[in-house]
Amino acid sequence: MEFRANRKLIVTFSAISLTDIVLLLLIFFLLSSSYVVQPGIRVELPKAVSAETSTEPRVVITVTREQEIFLNGRRVLLADLGAEVRKLLAQQPDQLVVIQADRDLTLARTIEVVDMAKMAGANRFLIATRPGV
């Protein structure tokens, strides 16, 4: 006696399981992306057509719209700026000092910061800008 199995291939595609996986991935990325925090100092640089880039070692002084001063990403007081820059320039005296001043900041405040760095021994300055017209 011979038995025959009536096996037929099922050629349908079940999109429900794929939809579940995509939905779970979407929920995962939405939830995990809300916890990513971009650290940094908020400064809107002025635009310049002739912007250049430099890769040499540098000291970065950032002045925000609220007139907060940061030296290499660390907040300092204006009174302490000269001493801190002097410490950094003691390691390498010919370092480039980059001034990142907010575009809405007054020129007087920017010159005050440049003067403090100059009195600390800095002699090479660069004003940071963003490319644009």
In this prediction, residue 6 carries a pLDDT of 75
Q: What is the pTM of this model?
A: 0.63
Helix (H) / strand (E) containing 31: helix 15-33
More confident residue, 46 or 120: 120
Q: How confident is the model at residue 34 (pLDDT cuts 50, 70, 90)?
A: low
Domain 47-131 has CATH 3.20.20.140: no
Instruction: Catalogue the long-range contacts made by 36-40 (C-beta closer than 8 Å, 24 or more residues apart).
Output: none
Cβ atoms within 10 Å of 65's Cβ, excluding its own = 13
Phi and psi for 40 in degrees, rounded to 5? 155, 175
